[in-house]
Structure 1
Amino acid sequence: MTEYERSRPMPALPEHVFDQAANLGQLEDWLPDTLHVHPGRPPAVTVHEEHTDEDKAAVVHPRPDDLRLEWGTRDDSGYTGWLQVDAAGTVTSRVTVHLSFADDTHDPGEAEVRQALDTSLARLEEQVRLRVDNAAG
């Protein structure tokens, strides 16, 4: 099993960050550009991967009480992940994303995964900033 994890501070309360991250209708605003999530009947989603041009059955489990979002492939256990939001100050938080690849055929490699995680966290921060700025303005 190969695992990756990245963290990033966020400029908002943990609850606001989690609400943004867990909004199934806006997942594509912060996920890698090559992934397209089509919500189905919760917790089911379909994920389209541009690199392989395949649709994968997956599940997404938001856990608002824990400020945690969990996901994974539905038909096999080849890929799972989670996002955790924690308080990091009076009005800031920290987001950690963890990915696990049980099957090496699902793992695109360390460099690509780390780049995707860093880019996704930066995009999530941008979405959070937009939300905070719009609420204040």
Structure 2
Amino acid sequence: MTEYERSRTMPAQPEHVFDQAAQIGRMDAWLPQDLHVEAGDLPAVTVREEGVDEDISALLRARREQMRIEWGTRDQGGYAGWLQVAGIDSGTSEVTVHLSFFDDAHDPGEEAVQDALDTSLRRLEEQVRLGGGDTG
């Protein structure tokens, strides 16, 4: 099993950051650009990767009371991950994203994953900034 983790500080209340991250219909705005999530009968979702013919069945759970989103593949068991939002001080949050690859065949490699995590966190921060200020 291989694990990766990245964090980023964002200038917004944790509730606002979480609300922006947890909107399934807007996840494309911050996920890696080649991944698209479509809601099914929640917690079931379908993940579509550009350039890949087969959709991936996955589970996604957003727990606002914990400021945590968890996901993972449903049938293959290839990977899982979570996003955690924590308040740091007045008006600032830290967002941590963690990925676990249980099968080396699903792991695209450290450089690719770290780049994707950094880009996703940057894109989420942009979405948070454009999303109407803080909700706290």
**How far did 1:51 drift?**
4.2
Distance in 1 (CA, whole Å) between partners of 2:134 and 2:6 is 27
AA aligned opposite 1:69: I
> Could you tell me how far apart the structure 2 residues matched to 1:116 and 1:76 are?
22
Q: Percent identity?
A: 63
1:128 is the counterpart of 2:128:
yes
The alignment status of 1:46 with 2:46, answered yes or no, reads: yes
How many Å separate the matches in 1 of 2:38 and 2:7? 26
Give me the TM-score of the superposition, normalised by structure 2.
Answer: 0.95
Shift of 1:89: 1.1
| Structure 1 runs (4+) greater than 6 angstroms displaced | none
Match of 1:29 in 2: 29
Equivalent residue number for residue 111 of structure 1: 111
- Preserved contact between residue 12 and residue 132 of structure 1 (Cα < 8 Å): no
The secondary structure found in structure 1 opposite 2:128 is: helix
Between the aligned partners of 1:48 and 1:31, the Cα distance in structure 2 is: 12
Provide Cα deviations, 1:88-118, integer angstroms capped at 9, x if missing partner.
1111100000000000011000000000000
1:83 aligned partner: 83
Q: Structure 1 residues 113, 51: closer, same or farther in 2, change over 3 A? A: farther
2:73 equivalent in structure 1: 73
Contact 2:13 2:134 in 1 (8 A): no
Question: Is the CA contact 1:62–1:68 (under 8 Å) kept in the aligned structure 2?
Answer: yes
Aligned-pair CA distance for 1:76: 2.7
Task: Point out where structure 1 has 5 or more consecutive residues left out of the alignment.
Answer: none
Secondary structure of 1:32's partner?
coil
Q: CA deviation at 1:57?
A: 0.2
* Secondary structure of 1:31 counterpart: coil
Q: Which amino acid aligns with 1:119?
A: T
Structure 2 residue identity aligned to 1:4: Y
**Is the Cα contact below 8 Å between 1:79 and 1:102 reproduced in 2?**
yes
Which secondary structure state, in structure 1, belongs to the residue aligned with residue 52 of structure 2?
coil
SS for the counterpart of 1:54 is coil
Alignment partners' CA distance in 2, 1:28 and 1:54? 18
Q: Which runs of 5+ in 2 are unaligned?
A: none
* Pairwise CA RMSD: 1.4
